Homo-oligomer: A and B are copies of this chain.
Amino acid sequence: MALIVCKFGGTSVASPERIQKVARRLIERKQAGNDVVAVVSAMGKTTDELVGLANAINADPPAREMDRLLSTGEQVSMALLAMAIEARGYNSMSFTGRQAGIETDATHAKAKIVKVHNDRIKKALEAGVIPVIAGFQGIDARGDMTTLGRGGSDTTAVAVAWGIGADVCEIYSDVDGVYTADPRICPHARKLDEISYDDMLEMSGAGSGVLQMRAVEFAKKYHVVIHSRSAFTDTEGTYVKEATDMMEEAVITGIAHDTSEVKVTIRGVPDNTGVAAKLFSALAGNMVNTDMIIQNVSEDGVTDISFTCPGADLARARETLDRIVPEIRAREVSVDEDIAKVSLVGTGMKSSPGVAAKAFSVLGEAHINILAISTSPIRLSMVIDAGQVASAVQLLHTAFGLDSDSVFEETQLSAEEIAAKMNKGR
């Protein structure tokens, strides 16, 4: 007997049939003696379609109107899910962000939750009702609808779980948990039973798409346990929670990769004070999120500066550089879109020196060139050629003892031996 928040994404509610399945699952949880609250995203591609309509009408639609437009998607799926639950003889009631008491700041399109007024949801639960809450939306202090930005439904679910004091926030998706690496490119990847908030944050930030970073941040701040699990099977997924002693045994928790970034190089930059500052403040001013920055050793008073940024920011980066490069008298700009970032994540790294050295050596032996490096106390990220990302992840996964057949011991194989082993396997 527990109090559970269950969040279902767009894929899980994409059709009347799937909505029926979600209803069945919620009722099973209820029948097992739990109190259940559902949080839903918009059906399938609804949000994209609404964005398309808006752009056909106004190239730069006012944020307030965009929020009211987009918030309708979740209102459709919440009402349909409540109907599906009622069709099976259970009481249900849907709640908009407003009615569920999700109070946000007034930053339209990426509002932050500031408060959860949980009276109506608690009352519904007391009356034996299964409440269904529209994800992704709230209201600001003036009573205007806001939306939380992409993936905001995860955040809604965590916020509601916190607001009503739920035992767990179950986030259902088309993957069945958090893996040590992406199973699509790393066949030996292993599902984690649990992961700490910090490791999960670094994994999300480094490209693992299982959970939204903001939702994990919120969960960490308010101590909400997340259970990331499959919408299609009944098997347990991964619990995201406070770090435990158990978790800290492994040096590396998982390996994330990200192929959505690009590398931009500015050549022949005069090596004067303030040039880099000028360059990067111009980029920041144009909303280019620079990730890693690499500056070569200066030669004859000029140097090359490279940085990585999300592919989605590339157009704005080019725009900025077209303006700033002549101004700082640099020579030329080149862009490499075929890069990948591979990140080792693990709270255990803090107390284990030598992770970086080992990672470099594993990749070096396999002739995988490292183009850039960045680190945090619990993460090591390396930029490599996109074509080599699968090999790199597989090699590191094996080298750091993450393979499913060697869960509790770090393998003692050298990088060369691993490479040989892997080639044999092909």
Contact = CB atoms under 8 A, between A and B. Distances in A.
Contacts of A57: 16, 19-20, 80, 83-84, 87
Interface string A90-111: 0011101001000000000000
A52 to B, nearest CB: 9
Interface in A34-92: 50, 53-54, 56-59, 61-62, 64-66, 68-69, 71-72, 75-76, 78-80, 82-84, 86-87, 92
A59 B80 contact: no
A143 interface: yes
Nearest to A67: B79
B79 A59 contact: no
A392 to B, nearest CB: 45
Q: Is the interface of A mostly helix, strand, loop or mixed?
A: helix
A315 B94 CA distance: 32
A138 to B, nearest CB: 15
Contacts of A50: 76
A292 to B, nearest CB: 38
A58 B19 CA distance: 11
Nearest to A70: B79
Contacts of A87: 57-59, 61
Contact of A83 (B20, B65, B80, B82): B65
Contacts of A62: 82-83, 86
A69 B59 contact: no
Contacts of A86: 58, 61-62, 65
B58 A69 contact: no
Interface residues of A, number: 35
A94 B78 CA distance: 22
B75 A79 contact: no
Nearest to A120: B143
B53 A65 contact: no
Contacts of A78: 68
A62 B86 CA distance: 8
Contacts of A76: 50, 53, 69, 72
Contacts of A56: 16
Interface of A: 16, 19-20, 50, 53-54, 56-59, 61-62, 64-66, 68-69, 71-72, 75-76, 78-80, 82-84, 86-87, 92-94, 96, 99, 143
Please give me the 4 A-B residue pairs with the lowest Cβ-Cβ distance, nearest first: A69-B79, A58-B87, A16-B56, A72-B72
